Amino acid sequence: MTALDLSSPVAVVGTGTMGQGIAQVALVAGHPVRLYDAVPGRARDAAEAIGARLDRLVDKGRLSAGDRDAARARLTPADGLAELADCALVVEAVLERLDVKQRLFGELEEIVAEDCLLATNTSSLSVTAIGGALRHPGRFVGLHFFNPAPLLPLVEVVSGFATDVTSATRAYETARAWGKTPVACADTPGFIVNRIARPFYAEAFAVYEAQAADPATIDAVLRESGGFRMGAFELTDLIGQDVNESVTHSVWQSFFQDVRFTPSLAQRRLVESGRLGRKSGHGWYDYAEGADRPEPHTADKERPPAHVVAEGGLGPAAELLTLIREAGIEVREEDEDQGTRLVLPGGGDLVLADGQTSAEFRDVVYFDLALDYRAATRIALSASQDTSPRTLAEATGLFQALGKDVSVIGDVPGMIVARTVARIIDLAHDAVAKGVATEEDIDTAMRLGVNYPLGPFEWGRRLGRDFAFDILDEMHERDPSGRYAPSLALYRHAYANDRRESTS
């Protein structure tokens, strides 16, 4: 099944920001496009707005004047749904209410031809439920674009329970012909991106609610150590706290209040107070003119240790040994079968976050996971009240000698980056096991949809066979609510690797 022919008219119903963006994508690809909105006059206003954006593309040299004029000629505001009768594809981008969408597609089914592809851009509702009221639900599919649609490449092509393979394939190929990067997924709450991204927000909020660190520090660690483009607090301020919480709540409810997707009480209070982020002028941060932006906690300068003893290697943090040597600090290596750690001159241990807490041990400082320890500009450390000041000072001085800012946070299992990445990896494995999408499509979706530095499976391969499982298993022991219980899929993945290693 191939993409729609460029001569085939495409209709977009709903002319808000997303509807206009989708219309522009189809228009620039070469289709005749019809715009319809239930509010009189809005379709014409939207056509003018799209025309103005095309003008700006010409000014920037991204579109020729001739192509702009041809595109303008192909764009037609419609006064009624009947004017969409000859369209080969109708994409809906109206209010996120099931009854509204069902009613719209019921009306469209009476107007368009039987081979017309019907698509919803919903981000939170069930594609199956929307199409369930149709006489021919096989031609109904989800086409979830990301905002702004003309700029962001990802499109989730969602097959409902009754969607025909031919319809899904045609939608997929059409999105690709429009210059987008489509990924195929089953109709599951949150699809790919909004399902697997929940821990990025949830774990940051959980660390904050545990009073282990403030928003500015958590954001800085996620950016400067984890490699994420934005931290969870600044990103939700950009998205809108009400919008982000609504998606989280929808996914949680759709999964029958699965504890893994539990919304944040702190975010709920923020929404209730009207602090919705940038659009209201205040969210986690204050955006008023002249307002001070809070700085992340950064430890005072400490002297680096003269040497460290490496016992058993450092697993995903092995690169640190090279960096320590380059900084002129002696590394004494000792073979050790039990665990991996650095022993500091004062006798305390420095250990990569593993899901346990410093309070459980004699004298331990944990350090957080980094995407790239050489490139990272900040490292988080955690210690308990029983950790000796000397050990914390030596650990701080060590990372400062490597050119890193150091943020000391509270004694929370899994710290910040490690627990976040572990949970993202777990949800990705669970999604593949349940037929939501392939590993490749999930990695693509998370890199393009939310700008993650690595896809979950790419990250898992880099970290090692059971890094995520081990962290979550330890965290589950300390919080048996089920929130951190590793999925059966992740357990099988880790166990299968264990077996292969033990029999090789």
Q: Collapsing DSSP states into helix, strand and coil, what is residue 300?
A: coil
Q: Indicate which residues carry an active-site annotation.
A: 123, 144, 156, 194
Q: For strand 341-343 and strand 307-311, is the pairing parallel, antiparallel, or unpaired?
A: antiparallel
DSSP code of 190?
T
The C-alpha atoms of residue 305 and residue 481 are separated, in whole angstroms, by: 40
Torsion on CA atoms 237, 241, 247, 252, rounded to nearest 10: 120
The C-alpha atoms of residue 49 and residue 72 are separated, in whole angstroms, by: 11
Q: Most distant CA pair in the chain: distance in Å? A: 80
The C-alpha atoms of residue 251 and residue 200 are separated, in whole angstroms, by: 14
The C-alpha atoms of residue 121 and residue 144 are separated, in whole angstroms, by: 5
Tokens of 366: 């944990």
Q: Look at residues 445, 458, 422 and name the one whose alpha carbon lies nearest to residue 190.
A: 445
Tokens of 421: 């990445």
Rg of the chain over all Cα atoms, to the nearest angstrom:
26
Q: For strand 117-120 and strand 140-145, is the pairing parallel, antiparallel, or unpaired?
A: parallel
Tokens of 1: 């099944």
Q: For strand 364-367 and strand 154-159, is the pairing parallel, antiparallel, or unpaired?
A: unpaired
Are 235 and 227 in contact, with CB atoms under 8 Å apart?
Answer: no
How many CB atoms lie under 10 A from the CB of residue 347? 12
Residue found under tokens 């899929």: 489
The C-alpha atoms of residue 201 and residue 216 are separated, in whole angstroms, by: 14
The C-alpha atoms of residue 446 and residue 228 are separated, in whole angstroms, by: 11
Tokens of 176: 């690709």
The C-alpha atoms of residue 321 and residue 333 are separated, in whole angstroms, by: 10
